[in-house]
Amino acid sequence: MLTDVPGVAVGHLTDLEAGTGCTVVIPPPRTVGGVDVRGGGPGTRETDVLSPLAPPDEVTALLFSGGSAFGLAAASGVVRWCEERGLGREMVVARVPIVPAAVIFDLGVTGGARRPGPEDGYAACEAASDGPHETGSVGAGTGATVGKLLGREGCCKGGLGAASLRVHGGVTVAALAVVNAFGDVLDEEGRVLAGAWDTGRGFVGAAREAVVAPPVHPRLAAPTSTTLVAVVTDARLTKAEAAQVARMAHAGVCRAVSPVNTPFDGDAVFCLATGARSGALFACGVAAAEAAAAAVREGVRRATSLRGVPTAAQRARAGG
């Protein structure tokens, strides 16, 4: 759980009927943030303030949402919720909440009829708790799918996963992943766990198939996929170190998703460091990669079918 890190709260807004939702992470005050964006089609807000060169050194909250670019509006609700509670960066005339956000494209599941908005971001904050949080087809992972090589007809249901590790000195490193990847999700042995499915062949292996027979599906003409990861640690890191941990954590995404960081994906990894404990940058980065990979895999293992999109297990049973 991401809430294994003391002082961190996670809240979901899940709309199962529409097949979309959003997830908010609310860390303690004075939490430092960094980001590493590698996908060719990101949908983000307030990521520039996480640059080590930018003055703000505190992240008030982090939002992941469905709804593609439309879903970024949900961050306004998170900002309002934080402002009402006096959270944010002191700017003399106002306290301004710093709320980075990133979205996935789930309009293929929702039909575009329902996109998370400000009221949904606010509701996710209201639901936030520092206790165990849900994973699977919830929050920002509600409408997630994976394995888009053969289009909707061959994809599997994605979702939201989480994992955590304890490193030396008692530092906790946790990750939450929203798995909506173009590519396949691979298990610990490198086998396809969930991905592009062909009725006659089973999981085709997207990386290999794309090289042998380049995809021509019309939906691949625009960015429609994304894997988002939030790494949270109680280690004491600078903004530059948080960005480095986010970069190292992306290695875990690369272990669990193939192909990854494509022109069709908006892949991004965020790192939030609460600063409660002294910790080594190297150990945090290594643990972040391990936690990110585990969170991605859990996202598809705990996914449930929605709006006619089967899970990987359902695909396998039907094909066996």
Question: pLDDT tens digits, the chain, 320 residues: what are they?
Answer: 899 999 999 999 999 999 999 999 999 999 999 999 998 889 999 999 999 888 878 999 999 999 999 999 999 999 999 999 999 887 778 789 999 999 999 988 877 778 999 999 999 999 999 999 999 999 999 999 999 888 878 899 999 999 999 998 899 999 999 999 999 999 999 999 999 888 888 888 887 777 666 655 545 544 578 999 999 999 999 999 999 999 999 999 999 999 999 888 899 999 999 999 988 899 999 999 999 999 999 999 999 998 889 998 888 887 74
We report the CATH number of the domain holding residue 132 as: 3.60.70.12
> pLDDT digits over 81-135, tens only?
999 999 988 777 878 999 999 999 998 887 777 899 999 999 999 999 999 999 9
Residue spans of alpha helices (H) in 57-171: 74-84, 107-110, 118-127
Domain around 48: 2-319
Strands 226-235, 268-277: parallel, antiparallel or unpaired by DSSP? parallel
**CA triple 164-309-158, angle to 5 deg:** 15
Tell me how many domains the chain contains: 1
How many C-beta atoms surround the C-beta of residue 301 within 10 A?
18
